[in-house]
């Protein structure tokens, strides 16, 4: 009986570079107030959001991804030809097939990299990072590009008072490659499908196609239910990720939660008892909720502004529609 040769991957994996792209158009709360009965003060107090970015016709899911990925590849100090796999997390690429990852891989100039999309909502970046780590350690690719990208403005009901102010567009990307020491901890992830109705698309595409509804599908959510779940359950998941990595809250440098809502972020910080020395990402204020893109975008901004630095230990956690979640501890590039 023939024996299969063992894989020749790296013993560990790490994030080597990060890049982000935010659309040119900045949309203040005043624009949102044109279609809902609310106020700037209410939006800020409920979410922390002051502005968000909305894409124009040229800023497609693929175009934004290419921009963010180019920065991440340059930051990692490698070339596009060295990328062996491209993993894209998105819920707002409207072609069922082919995967937008294949278009991105081609436009970047990779050498026939494996390319595929995943759909895991706001936890998508964490899912993609976990897959990339496995690919590098297993040896199927030396360098993996992980992209979180959304055009949620296409799925926003501007007349829905509960969600119209939440969503933004953008792309964030990281390059994952070999490491001689642990730099991406074990992932604590899972799903709670019994709560799937709390964040969902209003109707299936087929209902719109068949004329059963006149309004284009959008994302809707039960705000209070999502808030309670995120604050109480996701704090537990975050603590599990710290424990799995062998890290205590006092040893943490940076906290990068999904940028869904600043009230959720504040509550998680309190529940986790994070010391004041921990830098907390609050990119939601000017970027809004960009789902799968929110963690890499927040990471990129913290590093660009100097609020976080290379080598810092960061806890990242994403959570959203499904309901799904993923948390891990990483060393920043």
Q: Tell me which residues are annotated as active site.
A: 122, 258, 289
Q: Which of 124, 152, 317 is nearest to 230 (CA)?
A: 317
Per DSSP, the residues of 82-112 read GEEEEEEE-S----SSS-HHHHHHHHHT-SS
| Secondary structure (DSSP) of 19-61 | EEE--SEEEEHHHHTTTSS--HHHHHHHH---EEEE--TT--H
- What Cα–Cα distance (Å) separates residue 189 from each residue in 28, 101, 126, 178, 235? 34, 23, 8, 23, 13
CA angle 303, 282, 194 (to 5 degrees): 115
What span, in angstroms and rounded, lies between the C-alpha atoms of 119 and 1?
40
Residue 14 CB coordination number (10 Å): 22
Are 60 and 169 contacting, i.e. CB atoms less than 8 angstroms apart? no
Q: How far apart are CA 155 and CA 55, in angstroms?
A: 12
Name every residue whose Cβ is closer than 8 Å to that of residue 6 and which is 6 or more positions away in sequence.
Answer: none
Please tell me the distance from the alpha carbon of residue 43 to that of residue 45, in angstroms, as a whole number: 6
């Amino acid at each position: 009986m023939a024996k299969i040769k063992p894989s020749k991957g790296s013993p560990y994996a790490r994030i080597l570079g990060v890049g982000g792209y935010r659309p040119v158009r900045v949309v203040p709360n005043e624009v949102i107030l044109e279609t809902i009965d609310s106020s700037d003060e209410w939006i800020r107090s409920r979410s922390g959001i002051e502005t968000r970015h909305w894409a124009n016709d040229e800023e497609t899911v693929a175009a934004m991804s290419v921009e963010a990925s180019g920065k991440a590849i340059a930051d990692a100090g490698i070339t596009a030809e060295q990328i062996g796999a491209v993993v894209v997390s998105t819920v707002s690429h409207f072609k069922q097939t082919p995967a937008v990852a294949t278009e991105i891989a081609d436009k970047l100039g990779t050498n026939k990299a494996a390319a595929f999309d995943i759909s895991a909502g706001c936890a998508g970046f964490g899912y993609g990072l976990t897959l990339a780590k496995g690919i590098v350690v297993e040896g199927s690719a030396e360098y993996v590009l992980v992209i979180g990208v959304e055009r949620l403005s296409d799925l926003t009901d501007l007349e829905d008072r509960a969600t119209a102010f939440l969503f933004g567009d953008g792309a964030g990307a990281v390059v994952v490659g070999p490491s001689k020491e642990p730099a991406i901890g074990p992932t604590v992830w899972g799903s709670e499908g019994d709560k799937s109705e709390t964040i969902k698309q209003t109707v299936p595409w087929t209902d719109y196609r068949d004329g059963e509804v006149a309004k284009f599908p959008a994302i809707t959510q039960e705000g209070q239910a999502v808030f309670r779940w995120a604050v109480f359950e996701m704090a537990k998941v975050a603590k599990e990720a710290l424990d799995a990595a062998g890290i205590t809250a006092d040893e943490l440098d940076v906290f990068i939660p999904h940028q869904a809502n600043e009230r959720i972020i504040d509550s998680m910080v309190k529940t986790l008892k994070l010391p004041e020395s921990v830098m907390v990402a609050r990119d939601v204020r000017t970027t809004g909720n960009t789902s799968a893109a929110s963690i890499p975008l927040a990471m990129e901004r913290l590093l660009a502004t100097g609020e976080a630095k290379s080598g810092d230990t960061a806890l990242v956690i994403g959570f959203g529609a499904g309901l799904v979640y993923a948390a891990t501890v990483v060393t920043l590039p």
